[in-house]
A and B are shown apart, each in its own frame.
Chain A
């Protein structure tokens, strides 16, 4: 029972974080919220006892955040000119 409650709570947080990450107008906030989304997905995978997938998701979340930060920097440089 506690498993179902925790998983439902986690899935709700994932849904809310993903929706805010899509609809927020501020672009760097979107990147940060995507990072939070990926972290909660990692927790959900761990709860479903899939540590291998959780490890892959954690690592991919970190590296995609680095990519997005670099892309945002390039966009701001384009704005300045």
Chain B
């Protein structure tokens, strides 16, 4: 049976670390209004989970990564941000004025939802950008790469 990982130590460590990293990234994202954290940090933590998975894979893997899709996902981040900003304009607000979002809650809570949507955009952009830079540095389209990690 062909081994699916680089080494057994990396596999066991990553099996523990990756779910914790994903949960912690989502926590940092949605709890960013109340505690230290926010979109940028959540994006990097979520990208670290994917990067650990990339590091765990064997050096002679033939699998190509989804590079064009990940660049498109990185472009979705600023677009989500921009749409959140434009969303309040038909309801009588200015660009990025969250108090006029059409949500049936109190005005200060509308600000919270606006901040959450904006930070989801930042998270998606940062996460996809970091994964795409890692793939560019590493093994993209490079099927005869036999170097080990160190």
Can you report 7 A-B residue pairs in the complex whose CB atoms are below 8 A from each other? A56-B41, A60-B44, A67-B133, A67-B134, A71-B137, A73-B150, A77-B145
Contact residues in A for B138 (Cβ distance below 8 Å): 70
Residues of A within 8 A of B (CB): 28, 51-52, 54-56, 59-60, 62-63, 66-67, 69-74, 76-77
- Contact B36–A70 (Cβ < 8 Å): no
Partner of A70, one of B40, B41, B45, B134: B134
- Contact B149–A73 (Cβ < 8 Å): yes
Identify which of B36, B45, B130 gathers the most chain A CB atoms within 10 Å of its CB: B36
The 4 closest A-B pairs by CB, nearest first: A51-B36, A59-B44, A77-B147, A52-B36
Contact residues in B for A73 (Cβ distance below 8 Å): 147-150
In the complex, B37 has a CB within 8 A of chain A: yes
Which applies to chain A's interface (DSSP): helix, strand, loop or mixed? Answer: helix
Q: Which partner residue on chain B sits nearest A68 by CB separation?
A: B137
Q: What's the Cα separation between A56 and B44 when bound, in Å?
A: 9
Minimum CB–CB distance from A64 to chain B (whole Å) comes to 10
In the complex, B51 has a CB within 8 A of chain A: yes
Answer whether A59 and B134 are a contact pair too, CB < 8 Å, given A52-B36, A69-B149, A73-B149: no
Minimum CB–CB distance from A43 to chain B (whole Å) comes to 15
Partner of B137, one of A28, A59, A62, A67: A67
Minimum CB–CB distance from A14 to chain B (whole Å) comes to 21
Contact residues in A for B48 (Cβ distance below 8 Å): 59, 62-63, 66
Q: What's the Cα separation between A55 and B41 when bound, in Å?
A: 7
Contact residues in B for A55 (Cβ distance below 8 Å): 36-37, 41
Contact residues in B for A62 (Cβ distance below 8 Å): 44, 48
| Beyond A52-B37, A52-B38, A63-B44, 19 additional pairs, beta carbon < 8 A | A54-B36, A55-B37, A55-B41, A56-B41, A59-B45, A60-B44, A62-B48, A63-B48, A63-B51, A66-B48, A66-B51, A66-B55, A67-B134, A67-B137, A69-B149, A72-B150, A73-B147, A73-B150, A74-B137
